[in-house]
Structures are given as structure tokens and as C-alpha cells.
Amino acid sequence: MPGKAPAADATLRILRLMSEQRGPVAAATVARTLALPRSTVYQLLATLTEHGFVIPIPELKKYGLGVAAFELSSGFNRQQPLTRVGTPVLARLVDDLGLSGHLTVLLGRDVVYLAEERAPHGPYLVTDVGVRLPAHLTASGLAMLAGLPAAQVRALYPDRGAFTTRTGAGVATYRELSTELRAIRERGYALEDSSVTEGLRSMAVAVPDHVGWPAASVAVTFSADRDIDMEATAARIARAAAELGRRIGGGAARGARS
């Protein structure tokens, strides 16, 4: 609790604030945003700098995250907590729906499959753990792209060359992608039909991180000719995504616009 360890609380709040910024931040901004005394902020920034979590940038009179902060992120990846926490959530989803499920993260313009639970007698899938696929072709990727700021999506897809294809289906231009992302935000889930494998469809919902940006995505895949209650299925996926979000300390998803 803040009352028991105010210095630790303030330090963690500073690191969290800095992690949410698109670039370096001034100490005065930190003090004002967090309602902390400037002297306290400068003292804590000095300590964070000493331990490598923060780097001062004198030319800008600002501070950026240091190598030690990156090492924390690398440690997170090495320990695979998202996979460990997400696998039982995914398993329950697959048991409930009888459909194969996936957990993915966004890496550049690709999605990487972290975990997969296959339903008995389900169709053959190409989405083994570790496989990378173009984000704009997958329901998982589209669900996460829908939660990003428009400028970030545009940076990922600057021209038609960014839109690769596998089957000829799926979005092929930035305008088509923007239209699809708006539709995803309106209905609350992403849908892919034969973009990855002909005859297969997928539905996905993004998992929000602690500031509401997409940390991962939960999806299910099924044969296109299977009779599925789309809204009920989407609602169950959304519950699984929300549960995983809570487990990783996530909040409500941000209402990004593109």
C-alpha cells in the first residue's frame, strides 16, 4: 500500500508513467502528472539513473527508460508468464466451445502464436506455437491492430507492399484495413474468413494491458461450413480475454481510432 512504502510506490508510478510515453519525458511533467514534489521526483530519478532504469538526456532536459528497464521486459519474455497464465484460460475456452483456440502477441506486422489448444476432431491448422503470420490476415492480429493508435497502424502499413497475402482473401490496402478496424471496434471482435487457410474462419478479441493497449489476443478457429452462433461465441471469447487481462493486471481496452 502507498502508505506503507511511499518511496516504492512513487518509484513504480514514475516507471509506469514513463513506459506509457512515446518518448522521453521531463521531470516537471512527471511531478505534475503524478502530483509529486519536484524534489522527490528528482531524487527518485537520480536513483533510477544510478541503477540503469532511467537515462537522462541533457540536450532535451528529459529522461528516458534505460537498459535495466529493457532487461525487465526481456526477463518477462524469458519466463513466459503470459503463456503460463493464458494456457489454462485458453483450455477452458476450448472445452466450453469445442473449437480450437490460440493465444498470440503482436510483433511488428506479424502475430506470434504463444499457445494453442486444439479441439478434438478439429480441422488441421498451420498455427503451431512459435509460428508467425501477417497480422492483417489473422483475426488475432486484426483484433490487436484495432486497439492501436491510427498513427502506429499507419507506420506499420505505409504502402501496399506491406499487405502480403496467402490465399488472396483479406484486406489488401490501408483503406480496407481502416474500414475493417472500425468494424471490429464497433462489434467488439475480429473475424477472419479464409485469409490464412481456405475454408477456415477465426474470431478473436484483444487482451488489454495495464494501460489499455492490446497485450495479446485470444482467438478460436473453425471450419467455415460449421454452424456457429457468432455473437454467443464472441461473448465467450471476450470473457476469456477479459479474464486473462485481469490476470496480467490489465485494464479496460482503449478506444483507439484509425
Q: What is the mean pLDDT of the chain?
A: 87
Report long-range pairs for 209-213 (Cβ below 8 Å, ≥24 apart).
Answer: 209/245, 209/248, 209/249, 209/250, 209/251, 210/16, 210/248, 210/249, 210/250, 210/251, 211/16, 211/20, 211/251, 211/254, 212/147, 212/250, 212/251, 212/252, 212/253, 212/254, 213/147, 213/148, 213/254
The domain limits of the chain are: 6-73, 80-247
Q: What is the pLDDT of residue 248?
A: 83
Q: What is the pLDDT of residue 101?
A: 94
Residue range 7-18: mean pLDDT, rounded: 90
Q: What is the pLDDT of residue 60?
A: 86
Residue range 232-258: mean pLDDT, rounded: 81
Between 122 and 118, the higher pLDDT residue: 118
User: Residue 103 pLDDT > 80, yes or no?
Assistant: yes
For the record, the C-alpha cell of 208 comes out as 488489454
Structure confidence at residue 75 as a pLDDT band (50, 70, 90) = low
Q: Model's pTM, two decimal places?
A: 0.71
Q: What percent of the chain has pLDDT over 90?
A: 47
Structure confidence at residue 1 as a pLDDT band (50, 70, 90) = very low
For the record, the C-alpha cell of 236 comes out as 465467450
User: Residue 240 pLDDT > 90, yes or no?
Assistant: yes
Q: What is the pLDDT of residue 125?
A: 79
User: Residue 4 pLDDT > 90, yes or no?
Assistant: no
Lowest average pLDDT, out of 61-70, 77-86, 99-108, goes to 77-86
| Domain 80-247 architecture | 2-Layer Sandwich (3.30)
Dump pLDDT digits (tens) for 193-225.
989 888 999 999 999 887 778 889 999 999 998
Q: What percent of the chain has pLDDT over 70?
A: 91
Lowest average pLDDT, out of 141-150, 164-173, 178-187, 223-232, goes to 164-173
Between 49 and 81, the higher pLDDT residue: 49
**Which of 191, 212, 190 shows the shortest CA–CA distance to 201?**
191
Q: How many CB atoms lie within 10 A of CB 30?
A: 24
**6-73 and 80-247 share one fold:** no
Buried b or exposed e, range 42-69, using 16+ CB within 10 angstroms: eebbeebeeeebbbbeeeeebbebbeeb
* Domain 6-73: top CATH class: mainly alpha
Structure confidence at residue 73 as a pLDDT band (50, 70, 90) = low
Structure confidence at residue 255 as a pLDDT band (50, 70, 90) = low
Structure confidence at residue 258 as a pLDDT band (50, 70, 90) = very low
